[in-house]
Chain A
Amino acid sequence: MSSSFGLSDHVKHALREAAMKSLQEVSRIEPPVIYDALYDHEKLKTTLFSKDHPDFQGLVNEIGVDQTDTLRGVLLVKQKHVIVIEHDYDRRNKFTFLHEHGHWKLPWHRALLFKCTQFDLSAAARKQLEIEANFYASEAAFMGDLFMNYLMSSPPSLSHISYLSNVFDMSMESTFRHAVELELRPCAYLVMTVNRNDSDHFLKISYVVHSASFAANVVEFSRKATFPKNHVLAQIVVNPLSTALNVHECIINVKPKGVQLKAEVWKNNWNVFAFCQPLE
């Protein structure tokens, strides 16, 4: 999933306006956003398609994509049809539907999809389209300024953002990304992979999101950072006592500044996550 970094302010403004207009068209003023209503309004047909379906390869050939691993959804503009490759996690499917809705609603996307295949576009153009559609999907799902009101109603924490994830019916991951990007208070969100064969680089950062004030005044995590197996962040994986808990709270020291951070750490089957704030 791409971040919103790299979008100019006037494009962000246009994307936000387009998302808000879409919500107004279906008179949605309270969370969560129901994507069906947005699709009905546009008279767009939707299909959830399983990768295990016998016709999946035929669909891939028809669309003309070369990498099926990264294929999440596709907008067939002329047929007014959106096909989303089914994921076990419903909230992820919802984000993909909103992403494809963005391709449809943004005039400079739709016009292009009418005239070009993805192979006509440069890698930079394709990346720009995907980042913009992700930004649109976030703005629509989190209902613009409304999310900010909810976010600022409590101190930032795992439990508060988890609550927001349920209110807006969006994945924890997308809620965290959106919340930390918008946060005025200093905090950072780390997503790490586990490398069990390397004790020195046991946890490897996949990506990190800093709030603006965290990056400016506290510290900025390197995207190449790794943590050894004996690091406190790794306890959620290696320590039997910690692994029995859903969340492991700890204090970490970040070199070279020697900054102390309070971290809430949790994991799923694939990743370890940490939400960090300066220690008061």
Chain B
Amino acid sequence: MQESELYSRFGQLVRQHRERLGRNQAEIGRASGLSRASIANIETGRQRIPLHHLYALARALRVDVHALLPVARDATPTTTNREIQSAVALSAREQEEVAKVVGFISARAS
């Protein structure tokens, strides 16, 4: 992943979590000890933050730090270890079925 893409994806995650909480940039700035301008710059990927700011942001956004870290997408996935995404949480049984179907179809596609 390009450095710029990494920061812009990090920024998107920050913005999504902030919007989920229904907070504006100034409020998250105050809660994390950063300025509103910093939050705005972080969200657009223009500001590259130090590690301790990551923890402060995660605290302000009430998420684990991992929730703000972009997942590397440049690794080539095998048929079975692809990430499964869904707007509604899947049960373990459903996840298992999805993995099975994807593996099955991938093995036969072209």
Partners in one complex: no
Q: B residues near A, CB below 8 A?
A: none
Q: A residues near B, CB below 8 A?
A: none
